[in-house]
Amino acid sequence: MSKPVVLICEPLSPATLEALGPDVEVRTCDGTDRARLLREVADASALVVRSATRVDAEVLAAAPRLRVVARAGVALDTIDVRAATHAGVVVVNAPTSNAVSVAELAVGLLLAAARCVVPAQEALREGRWERESFTGTELYDKTVGVVGLGRIGVLVAQRLAAFGMKVLAYDPYVQPGRAAQVGVRLVDLATLLRDSDVVSVHLPRTPETMGLIGEAELRLVRPSVIVVNAARSGVVDEAALHDALVERRVAAAALDVFEHEPATASPLLGLPGVVATPHLGASTHEAQEKAGLAVARSVRLALAGELVPDAVNVQGGVIAHDVRPGIPLTERLGRIFSALAGEAAASLDVEVRGEITDHDVTVLELAALKGVLTDIAEETVSYVNAPLLAAERGTAVRLVVDPESPDHRNLVTLRGTLAGGATVSVSGTLVGIGQRERLVEVNGYALDIEPTDHLAFLTYADRPGVVGTVGRVLGDAGVNIGGMQVSRDAPGGLALVALSVDSAVPADVLAAMGRAIDAVSVRAVDLT
């Protein structure tokens, strides 16, 4: 029987090739040579790429034997994950491989900006000795504000604390106790911006974080502030940052990421207070080695039909057939839970009930954590790092299994307690031969609605006319309602209206709906 073919499309370390083991046939090709890639991938069971090879629907269609695409790195923007999922191909990456390298680069960029390293070097190369022109600033006894306290944010905080800096952090999904353990004081974003000499961003790029630091936020900072972004583009509004630098409301910026890359034409590069690198966060020998070894392990697991912890789209492990359909449902419930909570849960119970508990359902606990953390963690969340990331945020997690399920054949519930004592719950099930996902409970209100990509939930005092008002506000905003359901605890008490809509509900429209019906709470969920 022939060995499975692993096609390597970009240079990898010798250790990575060795880690693939003797049970595969390793072939190589230039992934940027499109015609050759389409020919070579026809025999491949596994495809290993870095950032230059584009794996889209055309490549997947040309690879009938393909079982796994492995990205020896973190970002997946060159891989069509949706097309791979439809093709039944596992996609894996190396989510923790670059954490130290990115943290070190962020600190290095900060030091370069604080001490005018780049313009001083340029002056020397031009034959000018201008010590008086490049007076910098010390980091000692200054305050750094870390926006996003995930793995990389913690590493940056620890390194800058060693410089004698005071460390503030903003991250609504981290418990204060966990922050205190690493010597960090949690504050709200406005306080962080007002009180920091350095603002260092370490957040994922999501609909919620896009433009988080924009014009209004940059008007809160001190004029001596240095802004560092070695995380993801878009979190800091580049146009607003440019204006703040030009108007001297921000002293300097240290950047490794840009909204449009390559960013050789970015107007930020022409400003004297900017230190920039071309997205070098993961560009160290160590990070590349870690990434290569990690994906080599994942490729071996996928080809052996075993659990692939770093799978980003589907589970690739030996899991009971009856359990598998519950994995994407549970992940989706986790994302809805985080959107409803709006902050970190101090504790989270993952309750699994019904016939499915005849099997090992541990994977559903991992799926719930992956979903809960996907939209709030800086790192790419996988089944292998989700428990660690939850622990880092101070969230205690428990799997509750009960064969009894009075109302549904199987039921998955995520029930969490927030720091202030409030509780959030969301439940889902699968129905029919097609195993269609249904959202059947939110915060104690019974529902039966499809958990589509765009949802909204409004809690209000039960009374006539509310449904019509909600429909009118959305209609005026051009947002089409796909489904609506009202649930209430008692006539005249509190009620919940759940909406599935065809497009994301803008924040101002959501707020307008809340005002129009005097809502107790409003929440939008975007699962795209």
CATH number at residue 387: 3.30.1330.90
In angstroms, the Cα distances linking 63 to 169, 202, 244 are 46, 37, 49
CA distance 309 to 322: 19
Q: Tell me, yes or no, whether 168 and 197 share the same domain.
A: yes
Residue 358 lies in a domain: yes
What kind and span of H or E run contains 170? strand 166-170
Determine the pLDDT at residue 317.
60
CA distance 462 to 490: 8
Q: Is 261 a catalytic residue?
A: yes
Q: Tell me, yes or no, whether 107 and 206 share the same domain.
A: yes
CA distance 393 to 493: 35
CA distance 329 to 434: 13
Q: In which domain, by residue range, is 407 found?
A: 319-441
Please answer whether residues 85 and 314 qualify as being in contact, where contact means their C-beta atoms are separated by less than 8 angstroms.
Answer: yes
Q: Tell me, yes or no, whether 487 and 420 share the same domain.
A: no
Determine the pLDDT at residue 207.
80
Q: Tell me, yes or no, whether 362 and 482 share the same domain.
A: no
Quote the strand ranges of 343-463, DSSP E: 345-354, 396-402, 410-418, 423-431, 436-442, 445-449, 454-461
Among 50, 151, 232, 454, the active-site one is: 232
Closest Cα partner for 69 from 292, 379, 295? 295
Cβ burial, residue 462 (10 Å; 0-12/13-18/19+): middle
Q: Tell me the pTM.
A: 0.81
Q: Tell me, yes or no, whether 139 and 237 share the same domain.
A: yes
CA distance 440 to 448: 5
Task: Pull the structure tokens for residue 152.
Answer: 């990389």
Q: Tell me, yes or no, whether 145 and 253 share the same domain.
A: yes
Residue 447 lies in a domain: no
Q: Tell me, yes or no, whether 209 and 144 share the same domain.
A: yes
Q: Is 279 a catalytic residue?
A: yes
Q: Tell me, yes or no, whether 342 and 430 share the same domain.
A: yes
CATH assignment at residue 118: 3.40.50.720
HSE of 166 in the Cβ direction (CA atoms, 13 Å)? 11
Please answer whether residues 161 and 200 qualify as being in contact, where contact means their C-beta atoms are separated by less than 8 angstroms.
Answer: no
What domain count does the chain have?
4
Closest Cα partner for 400 from 364, 446, 441, 438? 364
Residue 309 lies in a domain: yes
- In the block, tokens 């990575």 appear at 16
CATH assignment at residue 485: 3.30.70.260
Residue where a domain terminates, one of 441, 462, 495: 441
Among 50, 71, 249, 279, the active-site one is: 279
Q: 56 pairs with which residues across the strands?
A: none
DSSP 388: H
Q: Tell me, yes or no, whether 194 and 289 share the same domain.
A: no
Residue where a domain terminates, one of 276, 308, 328: 276
Please answer whether residues 498 and 487 qualify as being in contact, where contact means their C-beta atoms are separated by less than 8 angstroms.
Answer: yes
Q: 523 pairs with which residues across the strands?
A: 457
Please answer whether residues 146 and 157 qualify as being in contact, where contact means their C-beta atoms are separated by less than 8 angstroms.
Answer: yes
Q: Tell me, yes or no, whether 6 and 116 share the same domain.
A: no
Q: Tell me, yes or no, whether 74 and 88 share the same domain.
A: yes
Using DSSP's 3-state secondary structure scheme, residue 200 falls into strand
Residue where a domain terminates, one of 441, 465, 487: 441
Among 261, 306, 355, 450, the active-site one is: 261
- In the block, tokens 């995380």 appear at 231
Alpha helices in 459-499 (DSSP H): 466-476
Q: What string of pLDDT tens digits covers the 528 residues of the chain?
A: 689 999 999 998 889 999 999 999 999 999 999 999 999 999 999 999 988 899 999 999 999 999 999 999 887 888 998 888 878 788 999 888 899 999 999 999 999 999 999 999 999 999 999 998 999 999 999 999 999 998 899 999 999 999 999 999 999 888 888 899 889 999 999 999 999 999 999 998 888 889 999 999 999 999 999 999 999 899 999 999 999 999 999 999 999 999 988 899 999 999 999 999 999 998 899 998 999 999 999 999 988 877 787 788 866 666 788 898 999 999 999 999 999 999 889 999 999 999 999 998 999 999 999 999 988 887 778 777 788 889 888 999 999 999 999 999 999 999 999 988 999 999 999 998 889 999 999 999 999 999 999 999 999 999 999 999 999 999 999 999 999 999 998 888 999 999 999 999 999 999 999 999 999 999 999 998
Q: What is the CA radius of gyration of the chain?
A: 25
Question: Amino acid identity of 285?
Answer: H
Q: Tell me, yes or no, whether 323 and 246 share the same domain.
A: no
Please answer whether residues 21 and 300 qualify as being in contact, where contact means their C-beta atoms are separated by less than 8 angstroms.
Answer: yes
Residue 62 lies in a domain: yes
Residue 4 zone, left/alpha/beta (φ > 0; ψ -120 to 50; rest): beta
Residue 446 lies in a domain: no
- How far from each other are the two terminal CA atoms of the chain, in whole angstroms? 42
- In the block, tokens 């905080």 appear at 157
Task: Pull the structure tokens for residue 34.
Answer: 């499109």
What kind and span of H or E run contains 276? strand 274-276
CA distance 91 to 73: 12
